[in-house]
């Protein structure tokens, strides 16, 4: 059995090369597949891509699986083909495992970073044996305030939690610095912009001068039966305006429009309602096209970033919060 010194062990774990069983994840380009992270506590593996097929195993929360293909069943649900059988795609976040060169110096104003591996554990101190503050997930974003080395020479980014006003530390190679040019506004001179969300179709469309320029499936608020017997969404229908933006937001403890989750680093948040309803990126499910949220409009992270850059008010790369009267939003029920 191989043995490791403490320094070797810390270097391996800090760069996320080990799973809990000390087995390295495959390089993305070594296999004819993509990677997915399980987002639910237990996910059944089926012999065939249908919910009635024989159950042949389980995948568990945060397990990273190799995806070899995708199939759509008769009910319109998508399934991933894995080595053991099939799992529902709605509960698997598409991820990569990409390590990054470390930026040796962080600007005084800080900068944004994005997690580029399936997950990384943020620590209370820059030490691989320090208590874990949060688990940070692929495509989540954070404000980086500094880069430090620990006693073993491992580099850590000092992350700022803008909601709690505290700092924690993540292995620097797991986080990609987001360059300012990546956040340049899209078509900033176009004034007649409008976002339409159709709750029945679970679809968002962005318009310029009446022409659709972008569309995406969403996951809006869960459905409930109102006092009058009508089935409604927790996402409010009506006309609104994007008036606040944050490229990273810690949501939780009642700060996520009624969400019960604790979610640091929610990416590309564009608020349109005083209660905190917003468009934002989502990593905790992959069930777009069906109502699922506590009221916000869930999008894939890359789609939420497009809305963040395209809609007004126009944010600056080093701003934690942007305010102003921006793009009109129309949410319809059918």
Q: Helix, strand, or coil here: 263?
A: strand
If we measure between CA atoms, which residue out of 21, 316, 73, 44 comes closest to residue 183?
Answer: 316
Q: What are phi and psi of 134, to 5 degrees?
A: -150, 160
Tell me if the domain spanning 26-95 has CATH number 3.30.530.20: no
List pLDDT tens digits, range 82-100.
999 999 999 999 999 999 9
- Residue 178 is given by DSSP the state P
Tokens of 229: 């017997």
Average pLDDT score over residue span 121-144? 96
Is the distance from CB of 10 to CB of 153 less than 8 angstroms? no
Residues with Cβ < 8 Å from 240, sequence gap 6 or more?
272, 273, 328, 329, 330, 331
Is the distance from CB of 206 to CB of 194 less than 8 angstroms? yes
Residues with Cβ < 8 Å from 49, sequence gap 6 or more?
71, 73, 79, 81, 86
CATH number listed for the domain at residues 111-178: 2.30.30.40
pLDDT bracket for residue 132 (50, 70, 90)? very high
CATH 2.40.440.10 domain span(s) along the chain: 193-332
> Percent of the chain scored above 90 by pLDDT?
79
pLDDT at 32: 53
Q: What is the enclosing helix (H) or strand (E) of 301?
A: helix 301-310
How far is residue 319's CA from residue 108's CA, in Å, rounded to a whole number? 13
Q: How many CB atoms lie under 10 A from the CB of residue 43?
A: 20
pLDDT at 11: 44
Please state, rounded to an integer, the average pLDDT across all residues of the chain. Answer: 88
pLDDT bracket for residue 20 (50, 70, 90)? very low
Average pLDDT score over residue span 273-279? 94
pLDDT at 265: 96
pLDDT at 24 over 70: no
pLDDT at 316: 85
Tokens of 38: 């399980």
How far is residue 40's CA from residue 143's CA, in Å, rounded to a whole number? 27
pLDDT at 318: 84
List pLDDT tens digits, range 193-238.
999 999 999 999 999 999 999 999 999 999 888 888 777 889 999 9
If we measure between CA atoms, which residue out of 74, 75, 79 comes closest to residue 92?
Answer: 79
CATH number listed for the domain at residues 193-332: 2.40.440.10
pLDDT at 181 over 80: yes
pLDDT at 65: 97
Q: Which residues, listed in sequence order, are joined to residue 203 by a DSSP beta bridge? A: 198, 217
pLDDT at 261: 67
Q: Helix, strand, or coil here: 14?
A: helix
Tokens of 333: 């029920």
pLDDT at 107 over 50: yes
Is the distance from CB of 290 to CB of 202 less than 8 angstroms? yes
pTM confidence score: 0.87
List pLDDT tens digits, range 39-66.
999 999 999 999 999 999 999 999 999 9
List pLDDT tens digits, range 155-180.
999 999 988 899 999 999 999 999 99
Q: How many CB atoms lie under 10 A from the CB of residue 202?
A: 21
**Which is more confidently placed, 285 or 5?**
285
Residues 41, 141, 151, 133: what is their CA dihedral angle, to the nearest 10 degrees?
-40
CATH 2.30.30.40 domain span(s) along the chain: 26-95, 111-178
pLDDT at 253: 63
Average pLDDT score over residue span 245-274? 80
Average pLDDT score over residue span 303-326? 94
How far is residue 185's CA from residue 316's CA, in Å, rounded to a whole number? 9
Q: Helix, strand, or coil here: 173?
A: helix
pLDDT bracket for residue 149 (50, 70, 90)? very high
């Amino acid at each position: 059995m191989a043995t490791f010194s403490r320094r070797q062990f810390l270097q391996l774990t800090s760069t996320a090369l080990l799973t809990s069983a000390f087995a390295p994840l495959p390089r993305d380009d070594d296999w004819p597949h993509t990677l997915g992270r399980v987002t639910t506590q237990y996910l059944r593996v089926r012999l065939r891509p249908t919910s009635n097929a024989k159950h042949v195993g389980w995948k568990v929360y945060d397990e990273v699986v190799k995806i070899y293909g995708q199939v759509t069943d008769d009910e319109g649900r998508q399934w991933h083909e894995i080595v053991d059988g099939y799992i529902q795609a709605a509960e698997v976040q598409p991820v990569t495992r990409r390590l990054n060169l470390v930026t040796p110096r962080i600007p005084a104003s800080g900068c944004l970073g994005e997690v580029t591996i399936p997950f990384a554990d943020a620590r209370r101190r820059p030490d691989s044996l320090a208590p874990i503050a949060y688990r940070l997930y692929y495509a989540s974003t954070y404000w980086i305030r500094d880069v430090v080395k620990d006693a073993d020479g491992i580099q850590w980014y000092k992350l700022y939690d803008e909601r709690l006003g505290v700092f924690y530390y993540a292995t620097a190679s797991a986080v990609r610095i987001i360059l300012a040019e990546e956040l340049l506004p899209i078509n900033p001179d176009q004034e007649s912009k409008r976002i339409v969300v159709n709750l029945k179709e679970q679809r968002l469309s962005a318009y310029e001068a009446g022409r659709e320029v972008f569309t995406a499936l969403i996951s809006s608020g869960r459905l409930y039966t109102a006092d009058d017997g009508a089935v409604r969404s927790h996402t409010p229908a009506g006309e609104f305006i994007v008036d606040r933006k944050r490229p990273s937001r810690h949501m939780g403890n009642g700060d996520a429009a009624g969400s019960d989750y604790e979610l640091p680093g929610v990416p590309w948040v564009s608020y349109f309602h005083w209660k905190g309803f917003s468009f934002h990126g989502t990593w905790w499910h992959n069930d777009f096209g069906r109502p699922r949220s506590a009221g916000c409009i869930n999008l894939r992270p890359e789609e939420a970033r497009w809305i963040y850059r395209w809609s007004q008010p126009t944010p600056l790369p080093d701003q934690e919060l942007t305010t102003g009267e921006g793009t009109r939003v129309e949410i319809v029920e059918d």
